[in-house]
Amino acid sequence: MRDTQKYMSLPYNPALKDRARAMRRAGNLAEVLLWNQLKRKQFLGLDFDRQKIIGNYIADFYCAEKAVVIEVDGSSHDNKVEYDAQRDAFLMGLGLTVIHLRDGEVKGNMTGVMDFLRGHPAFGNPETNPETTPPLRGTPPEEGNNSVNSPPLEGWQAQPDGVVNSPPLEGWQAQPDGVVNSPAQPDGVVEVGDE
């Protein structure tokens, strides 16, 4: 059940409302995939909001009951280290726990991501200690996971900067900036998940 008091007590900048709505509709692939696991109380029966305005920031996902923000960090965060640190400090100053997930892990290891979240102490698992919980792992680099010479999978596009973009799902439209738009409804409105 949503903790309305916690939800309503957070600072809110109404000037960000249209931007948050646009971000929900545009959505990037990793956020859409994670949202499909979190929406409608599918994850531990908890209610999550997507693109929640908190102060002058828009959090990817927010759970009022557990006072948790989940951020999916892709390559767009590489040049925003200072901004992300300021945002995290602000959110933690409000008593929120901030969990960062890597874009690639969400796209390629959803089972591992959900297991990681289920075991995170912020979601009530007393046996998990954040200082001893290992980070999500893929194939170790020495086994080829980070090899820049590996050819992209069929249908995937390797960019000059080394980033490999997956093909969009059938009916979805990939934009040059990496944002993936869902199929448009007959009236031209694009919707992703629940709002």
Amino acid making up residue 108: G
Residue 28 lies in a domain: yes
**Where do runs of H (alpha helix) occur along the chain?**
4-9, 17-26, 29-38, 81-93, 103-108, 110-119
Q: Which domain holds residue 110?
A: 4-125+158-181
User: CATH number, domain at 9?
Assistant: 3.40.960.10
Q: Can you give the pTM of this predicted structure? A: 0.63
| Cβ neighbours of residue 163 closer than 8 Å, sequence gap 6 or more | 75
Residue 72 lies in a domain: yes
Residue 131 lies in a domain: no
Task: Tell me the sheet residues that pair with 97.
Answer: 68
Is 181 in a helix, a strand, or coil?
A: strand
Residue 190 lies in a domain: no
d(CA 20, CA 17): 5
C-alpha of 87 from chain center? 15
Contact call for residues 30 and 107 (beta carbons, < 8 A): yes
Q: What values do phi and psi take at 137, rounded to 5?
A: -130, 145
* pLDDT in single tens digits along all 195 residues of the chain: 555 666 678 999 999 999 999 998 987 899 999 999 999 999 999 999 999 999 999 999 999 999 999 999 987 656 788 999 999 999 999 999 999 999 999 999 999 999 999 999 999 865 554 444 445 544 444 444 443 444 444 555 555 555 545 555 555 555 555 555 545 444 444 344 443
* 37 DSSP assignment: H
Give the total number of structural domains in the chain.
1
Contact call for residues 62 and 91 (beta carbons, < 8 A): no
Residue 34 lies in a domain: yes
Tokens 């006072």 map to which residue?
A: 67
Residue 130 lies in a domain: no
Q: Return the closest-CA partner of residue 50 out of 66, 70, 73, 30.
A: 70
